Amino acid sequence: MFLLLVFLVAVLPVNTEGGKIIWGTESKPHSRPYMAYIHFYDSKLVPRSCGGFLVGEDIVMTAAHCYGSRMIVTLGAHNIQERKNTQVIHVYEAKPHEDFNSETLVNDIMLLKLEHKAQLNSVVKTIALPKSHDWVKPGQVCTVAGWGILPNCTSPNALQEVKQEVQNGQKCYARSKNYNDSIQLCVGNPNDRKSTSEGDSGGPLVCDGVAQGIVSFRFCPYTPPRVFTRISSFILWLQKSMKQLQQP
């Protein structure tokens, strides 16, 4: 994850998150059965990882900046070093948003079609997506989970999670004029040390059991809030893309 950070800082105006949770707590094992751990290689063949979440039997949602080669998804994991109960499935096709901009990071959303369907069970389940009129409001408290780096710069084996308060979009707009509240969410109280970190990218922001956001990027300096993709603004794109991926 640290390699990822250095790489991204070198090429992006903002810092995408590799996948870590800062000052969170370990999740209760398998309490988030939709969580996916995604391993891939970036364009420089550096191994990287992201979070993601199962939205269909053979479809994982994540951030478009998590696109890479030789993508492999692990489902049913808590401790990522343990293979018990896990399903490791190669990605058959990756579909990043056509208008994803790797500089401003708008439209940071991607679907991954798996080589075969996951076997749904007590530790592997899909999560609900929002309706297009769902609008997450400032003040709402949601949860984000990931295997990203810890404050002491080590990578946890066990899934971590943290509660995050949705902020008024103005707070993110004040930090970057590229922030667009109609397609992004501004998340994380600036007075709070708790937040996501590198490696948490692609993971879901879950509000009342629904995946409303995707971990996208943080501003420099790294204090909260962070920017998440607002999933409810992409429902039409999702329907169209799911249909395309379902074709044989």
Ligand X SMILES: *[C@@H]1O[C@H](CO)[C@@H](O)[C@H](O)[C@H]1NC(C)=O
Q: How far is the CB of 107 from ligand X (least distance, A)?
A: 7
Pair 84, 73: CB distance under 8 Å: no
Token pair of 45 as six digits: 């063949």
Q: How far apart are CA 31 and CA 14, in angstroms?
A: 32
Pair 16, 31: CB distance under 8 Å: no
Told to judge if 201 belongs to the known catalytic residues of this protein, a careful annotator would answer yes
Tokens 């948490």 correspond to 200
Nearer to ligand X, 152 or 247 (CB): 152
Q: Which of 49, 65, 78, 200 is catalytic?
A: 65
Q: How far is the CB of 186 from ligand X (least distance, A)?
A: 14
Q: How far is the CB of 169 from ligand X (least distance, A)?
A: 11
Distance from chain centroid for Cα 80: 16
Nearer to ligand X, 127 or 150 (CB): 150
Nearer to ligand X, 70 or 151 (CB): 151
Nearer to ligand X, 126 or 180 (CB): 180
Q: How far apart are CA 148 and CA 77, in angstroms?
A: 14
Query: Among residues 190, 150, 133, which one has the least CA distance to residue 166?
Result: 190
Told to judge if 90 belongs to the known catalytic residues of this protein, a careful annotator would answer no
Q: Which of 195, 201, 232, 233 is catalytic?
A: 201
Q: How far apart are CA 199 and CA 235, in angstroms?
A: 25
Query: Among residues 195, 180, 189, 219, which one has the least CA distance to residue 16?
Result: 219
Q: How far is the CB of 177 from ligand X (least distance, A)?
A: 8
Pair 77, 159: CB distance under 8 Å: yes
Nearer to ligand X, 151 or 190 (CB): 151
Told to judge if 30 belongs to the known catalytic residues of this protein, a careful annotator would answer no
Q: Which residues bind ligand X (CB under 6 A)?
A: 150, 152, 154, 180, 182-183
Pair 164, 187: CB distance under 8 Å: yes
Query: Which burial class, exposed, middle or buried, applies to 59 when counting CB atoms under 10 A from its CB (0-12, 13-18, 19+)?
Result: buried
Q: How far is the CB of 25 from ligand X (least distance, A)?
A: 10
Distance from chain centroid for Cα 100: 15
Which positions are annotated as active-site residues?
65, 108, 201
